[in-house]
Structures are given as structure tokens and as C-alpha cells.
Amino acid sequence: MNNDAVIQALRQALAADPRNGPLWIHLADQLMAGGDRAGAIEAVRMSTQIRETARAAGKRLVSLLREDGQLAEALIRAEALLDDDEDPDLRAELELILELRGGAVASDADLSAPAEIAAEDADDVEPAAESSAAEEEAREPALAPIAAPGADEPDENWADQFDWGDLRVTFSDVAGLDDVKKQINLRIIAPFTNPDVYRAFGRDGGGGLLMYGPPGCGKTYLARATAGELSARFVSVSIHEIIDKYWGESEKYVHALFEDARSNSPTVLFFDEFDALGASRGRGDNSFWRVFVDQMLQEMDGVDSRNRDVLLFAATNMPWNVDPAFRRPGRFDRVLLVTPPDAEARRQILTKHLAEMPGGRALDVDAIVAKTELYTGADLRHLCERAGEAALELSLTSGEIHDVTQAHVKAALGKTQSTALEWFATARNHARYANEGGQYDDLVSYLKAIRKW
């Protein structure tokens, strides 16, 4: 059996026996051997969910993530494991991660051993006392953006560093997903535009909406479109970025972010890659990480009236990694599955992309729709680009414009596939074995409907 056949056999075995931790590890080994690190990471991730293999897999995951440059998560996981049990290998791994992070500064004195290492790093990156102001300006500011709003007098320019998203997108740009749009309308837009009606029913705004689903299906796009619908400001923050950039100061940053949103309302505040917060499970109380999560919770809780004009969204491809504390009432208690476009939505997306290419309007869109079941929005764009490239290449070599043809699309179809399939395989296991409180009921119905259950 060649490597691919082994992998396929393992996947089949795991479909029948997904609680088999060692088998997931074995799959990870095979995937690594074939050079598929992303796949290996996913497989190891699965075996971290199984008690028997959790710790060994956790260690393995730390190394893989570190190799993959996913340092924020690697660090968090290494720390969590070290909180449970000291381990020289892991300690060395942690030091390596901290070294790779380089510019990151840990100022939290509560961190034990790793803090000392990080503090040494801090000496390297903090401007020496005698460095000129101009030099300081020129540096990538490690912590400066936080200092401003965290201090007594907020710096008005502070917010300029973000991409506020001038580009206006509305629901009409998002193809399909009618149920999701309806839920966003009911739960986010309407409470904002009709606060009195909601109050009459004893409901107050507050809380947020968590979107999950395979990558490339429009979660970020929907959050942006919600802001567009309301002509609200859109602020998108990646959790990984907060961890990487504002290490040791991130709770101040989070506070500043919320304060900024409150004083510039309405603002859609969107937290991307929200699963990064979930790696906190099992961590000690003194960890910086706990402080950060608590700060997030504090900003979301107890100050409902102040948050009234702050519309909170979060998105994740890995809802199973989201800290359950965030799912309680008043927080991200509303969870929405964002799925790949259905046939009608695919027709819309394809029509729009193809219209931008020579000859694109003459193509048989319905034929492409039929061949792209479960393609994500991003996959469809990629498909069109590939087909377009073939025609572009012909045009460049011949010196005259060549139309995109159905043959180009067909060739591109042969080279692409739905990137959501991998996600469905992983998600199915979580939905089968970790569907506490029916949290994945939507997913179960969907998987059944697309015959992936």
C-alpha cells in the first residue's frame, strides 16, 4: 500500500472508530510522512480530545504547531500542559517557542519560569533609555498601542491602526445563507434598531453571536455585511493577533477595544479565530491567559447598558475549542452554523465572478453549479480564478484576448475540490461524541442533509 492508500484506510477505520486516540496519532504520522502538516495537526488535535492520548498528543501538537509557526496556540498549549505536570521536554519546547516569538514581551510577573525567559527577551526589544524619539517612532511598537487608551487620556489616533473597513458590504453581497441572515436580523440588527420593542418583551441587547463552520463560507463576510446593513463601524480583531502582539498586556488591549467601541457606537466588534481562547482550559489561575479570558468575560458581562450599541460577533472554525465559559447566557450564547453555499447561492457567486472575465457571461453556469456541491464561497472564487488564468495565459502567448471557455472551467474543476470536506469529517466526530446540550444539533441536521453523517 502506498502512503495515500494507508491514509485512506486509516480514515475509514477512524470513521468507524473515532474514539481511537492511537489511530489518530498513527494517521498523523502518515500525514506527516506525506508532507501534510496541516492534516497531521488536525489528526493530532483529534487525539488530544481522547483521554487516553490527550497528554502525549498535546505534546506532539505543541511541536507541530511550533513547526508550523502557530506560536500563539503552541505557547498556550505548552503552558497548559506544564500547569498540569512538569516535563523537561515540554519546558525546552516552551523556551524554544518563546525564543521564536522573539519580539513578544511578557511583562506579567505571575508567569513563573517562562516569564524569566520572556523578560530577558524584553530587554532586547524595549528601546534603550538613550534611544532617540525618532528611532522609537520608527520601531514597530511592541506595546505602544495599548499604552495610549489604557492611560488616563485616550489617544484619539489610537484607533487608526485598525482596518475599520471602509469597504461597505451588505447582506445582498452575501449569497444564500437566508436562515443565518434571518437570525442575525432577529438577534443583532432588530434589537439595535427597535430597542423599545425588545425591552417591552423583557429582552435587552447584550451578548453576542458566535458563528462557526468550515473556512471560506462567509463568516467574516457576514459580520462585515451586518455592519454594512446598520451603517455601523466594523472592527475586526484576530485573537491570535492579540496574543502575538500584546502578550502580557492583552487584557488592557481588550479593555481599550471595548471602550473604543462603546464611545464610537454603533460598532460591530468582531473577534476572529475565537477558538484560540479555548486553549485556556485547564490552566492555572495565575496564568496571564486566565487574566485575558476573565477580562473578555468582564467586558461582556455586567455592563449590558454600556454595551448596548456594541454589536458583538465572533467566528471560529473550531467551536469545540471555544471555552465553555463564553457560551453562557449573556455572552456568546447564540451560535450559528455557516455552511457552504447551496445551488442557488453558488449560481449567484459564480455568475458574479465569471461576469468579470472575457466570455464569462456565455458560460453554462448551471453545469458548473452541478459540479461544485459543497464548494465554499472561497473555493468558487478560486475555481473561477483558475479557469481565468488558463485563458489569460493563452491571451498572453497569442497576443489577443481569449475568452474563458467551458473547457477551461472543466480543467479547473479537475484540479480543485471542496475544502470543506476535511472540516466536515472533523466536525462530525465532535457532533457525534461531544454534543452536550445539543450544541451541534444544527450541524447534525446539516451533515445528515448533505449525506456526510
177's contact among Mg ion, ligand ADP, none, with CB below 5 to 8 A by partner kind, is: ligand ADP
Helices marked H in 126-249 — which ranges?
Answer: 133-138, 144-150, 178-184, 190-193, 195-200, 219-230, 239-245
Q: From the list ligand ADP, Mg ion, none, which binds 191 (C-beta under 5 to 8 Å, kind-based)?
A: none
Q: Distance (Å, rounded) from C-alpha 207 to C-alpha 191?
A: 11
Site residues (CB under 5 A) for Mg ion, limited to 256-315: none
Residue 149 or 340 having the CB closest to ligand ADP:
340
Residue nearest to Mg ion (CB): 220
Q: Which does 175 bind (CB under 5 to 8 A by kind): ligand ADP, Mg ion, none?
A: ligand ADP
Least Cβ distance, residue 270 to ligand ADP (angstroms): 10
Q: Largest alpha-carbon pair distance within the chain?
A: 69
Q: How many CB atoms lie within 10 A of CB 358?
A: 14
Beta strands in 7-95 (DSSP E): none
Determine the length of the chain.
453
Judged by beta carbon distances under 5 to 8 A according to partner kind, the member of ligand ADP, Mg ion, none in contact with residue 316 is none
CB 312 within 8 A of CB 306: no
Name which of residues 367 to 406 contact ligand ADP (CB under 6 A).
377-378, 381
252 binds, among Mg ion, ligand ADP, none (CB under 5 to 8 A by kind): none
| One of 72, 345, 350, 369 touching ligand ADP (CB under 6 A) | 345
Instruction: Choose between 78 and 276: whose C-beta lies nearer to ligand ADP.
Output: 276
Q: How far is the CB of 222 from ligand ADP (least distance, A)?
A: 7
| Residue 349 site contact among ligand ADP, Mg ion, none (CB < 5 to 8 Å, cut-off depends on kind) | ligand ADP
Q: What is each CA distance from 118 to 97, 115, 325, 442, in whole angstroms?
A: 10, 5, 29, 43
| Sites for Mg ion among residues 211-240 (CB under 5 A) | 219-220
Phi, psi of 310 (to 5 degrees): -110, 115
Tell me which residue of 339, 307, 101 sits closest to 213, measured CA to CA. Answer: 339
Q: Provide the minimum distance between the beta carbon of 272 and Mg ion in the complex, in angstroms, as a whole number.
A: 6
Least Cβ distance, residue 377 to ligand ADP (angstroms): 2
Which 199-238 positions form the footprint of ligand ADP (CB under 6 A)? 215-221
Annotate 167-176 with b (16+ C-beta within 10 A) or e (fewer). Answer: eebebeebbb
Contacting residues toward Mg ion, per CB under 5 A: 219-220
